Structure 1
Amino acid sequence: MEKLDEFDIQIIKELEKDGRIAYSTIATNLKISNTMVHQRINKLTEQGILAGIRPIINEKKVGYDWGAFTGITLNKDHDSDRVIEALKKIPEITECYYITGSYTLYIKMIAKNHEHMRKILYEQIDSIPGIAKTDSIIELGCAFKRNISL
């Protein structure tokens, strides 16, 4: 994989400010050609550095007031692929990580209220075969979230 140069970094920074910015505006701002912007963004996408440009939804504004981080202990760690496929089917689970320590997996989930959260945990997650235990921490708000600085 090629190393990022200053143009790549500046293009990424422009996209971080506004993912809908026109490529021609990026070209003007950086004093480079529109073609160069297109080529660089295509290259960054092909290399997997840019995984896509999508909207960031404010979950609270669309009625999801509760968030939780949940550690999941499996009966057998080799069941993780099957459990992950089942977790993917629950739309309120927005992130899932392999971790070390007391849990096998760590998920982030959102819910509309405490009753919705309880149903996700007890009726959906706990019913997945192979899950031995869950341990949840309620999220009280995100202080910040950002990409790595380039």
Structure 2
Amino acid sequence: MDILDEFDIKIIKELEKDGRMAYSAIATHLKISNTMVHQRINRLTEQGIITGIKPVINEKKVGYDWGSFTGITLNKDQDSNRIIEELKKIPEITECYYITGSFTLYVKIIAKDHEHMRSVLYEKIDTIPGIAKTDSIIELGCAFKRNISL
């Protein structure tokens, strides 16, 4: 991966403010050509630095009041790819990480209420063959969430 230059960083910062901003508006603000903005964004996307421009949904505003961080212990760590494919099928799981320590995987789950959370944990996750156990911490609200500062 190439190192980001000052224009790449400025373009990314503009997109972070408003991902719907027109390329021409970014170009005007940064005093560079529209073509340069378009080419840079295409390159950053091709390199996987920008992985998409999408809305950030406030789960609580759409009825999902419960969140948890759940550690997953597997019977065999080599089953992780198959199990991850099964976890991807559960829409309430919004993030999944490989981790070190007591668990193999760590997931973020959102649910409408405690019954919905119980259902996700016991009827969806715990029934996946190869999962030995789960351990959840209930989330009480996000203090902040951000991208890495460039």
* Same fold? TM cut 0.5: yes
Q: Structure 1: how far apart are the matches of 2:43 and 2:79?
A: 36
CA–CA distance in structure 2, aligned partners of residues 119 and 3 of structure 1: 45
Aligned to 1:11: 11
Per the alignment, residue 128 of structure 1 pairs with 128
Gaps of at least 5 residues in structure 1 are none
Report how many aligned residue pairs link the two structures. Answer: 150
**1:1-29 residue CA offsets vs partner (Å, 9 max, x unmatched):** 22111000000000000000010000000
Query: Which residue number in structure 1 is paired with residue 58 of structure 2?
Result: 58
State how 1:96-135 maps to structure 2 within 5 Å: 96-135=96-135
CA RMSD of aligned residues (A): 0.5
1:28-47 mapped onto 2 (5 Å cutoff): 28-47=28-47
- Aligned: 1:70 with 2:70: yes
- Distance in 2 (CA, whole Å) between partners of 1:34 and 1:87 is 41
Alpha-carbon distance in structure 2 between the residues aligned to 1:101 and 1:2: 33
Paired amino acid for 1:147? N
2 CA distance for matches of 1:91 and 1:138?
Answer: 18
Task: Show the counterpart of 1:138.
Answer: 138
5+ residue gaps in structure 2?
A: none
- Tell me how far 1:78 sits from its aligned partner: 0.6
The one-letter amino acid paired with 1:110 is: I
Write the distance in 2 (CA, Å) between the matches of 1:94 and 1:124.
Answer: 14
**SS of aligned partner of 1:106:** strand
Q: Which residue number corresponds to residue 21 of structure 2?
A: 21
What is the TM-score when the length of structure 2 is the normalising length? 0.99
Counterpart Cα distance in 1 of 2:36 and 2:83: 44
Q: Distance in 1 between matches of 2:124 and 2:47?
A: 36
Counterpart amino acid of 1:41?
A: I
Measure the CA separation in 2 of the matches of 1:90 and 1:138: 18
Q: Percent identity?
A: 84
TM-score, normalized by length of structure 1? 0.99
Which amino acid counterpart does residue 54 of structure 1 have in structure 2?
Answer: K
Matched, 1:91 2:106: no
